[in-house]
Amino acid sequence: MLADSLDALEAAGLPVEPLREAGRRLVIDGPDGTRFVTTRPSDVPTYVEAGAADIGIVGRDVLIEQNPDLYQLLDLAFGQCRMAYATPGGQDQTADVIDRLGAVRVATKYPRSAAAHFARTGRHAEVIKVNGSVELAPLVGLADGIVDLVQTGTTLRENGLVEREHIFTSSARLVANRVSHKLRAEEIDNVTSRLERLPDAP
């Protein structure tokens, strides 16, 4: 999401050129005094919620999974993908597995989102947290299906998996620390309004 974020910030008039030349540096100071921090997407809410950053850009999937205490200011419309439930090809065996065993085993990097989806639909699921290639789990018998982010579906198809259920749609969001939003309201509102005026913004 970094490249799209830089393009959006640049189009909004922010001085992001130092970030494009940052190499492996994680903290970069812009010419106007703006300090930029780059980190893993899953860590963005932590830095913003703790006040180490005033605002951040992060996927809705991360926000739903972590449920941080932040303000969501804007849907930036890029980085679009969907959270989905997928199982091996052929007939979907989910209902049969639940009938026989009482629960379906689901591997995922998003345990909260997966558990909430099956709870909402009145089904029992044994959620197995994995950190690597989640598509491997059904192939080796670890799980009956997976819950994961899907963009094009190519990885699913290449591993013989079929998307069965759409859970939610995700895209990049601009978020703010609650205290910063009060103390630096004018600056944050200025950035938000400039991003909001971009052609691709919803």
* Nearest residue to 105 (alpha-carbon basis) of 159, 147, 133: 147
Tell me which DSSP letter residue 202 carries.
Answer: -
pLDDT at 23: 84
Is 151 within 8 Å of 170 (Cβ atoms)? no
The whole model's pTM is what? 0.90
Is 61 within 8 Å of 180 (Cβ atoms)? no
Q: Which domains does the chain have, with CATH numbers?
A: 2-79+171-196 (3.40.190.10), 81-168 (3.40.190.10)
Cβ atoms within 10 Å of 47's Cβ, excluding its own: 16
Q: Could you report the per-residue pLDDT of 70-95, keeping only the tens digit for each?
A: 999 999 999 999 999 999 999 999 99
Cα distances (angstroms) measured from residue 156 to each of 6, 132, 133, 163, 195: 29, 15, 11, 8, 34
pLDDT at 1: 85
Encoded tokens for 87: 């199982």
Tell me which DSSP letter residue 145 carries.
Answer: E
Query: What's the mean per-residue pLDDT of the chain?
Result: 94
Q: Could you report the per-residue pLDDT of 8-32, keeping only the tens digit for each?
A: 999 999 888 888 888 889 999 988 8
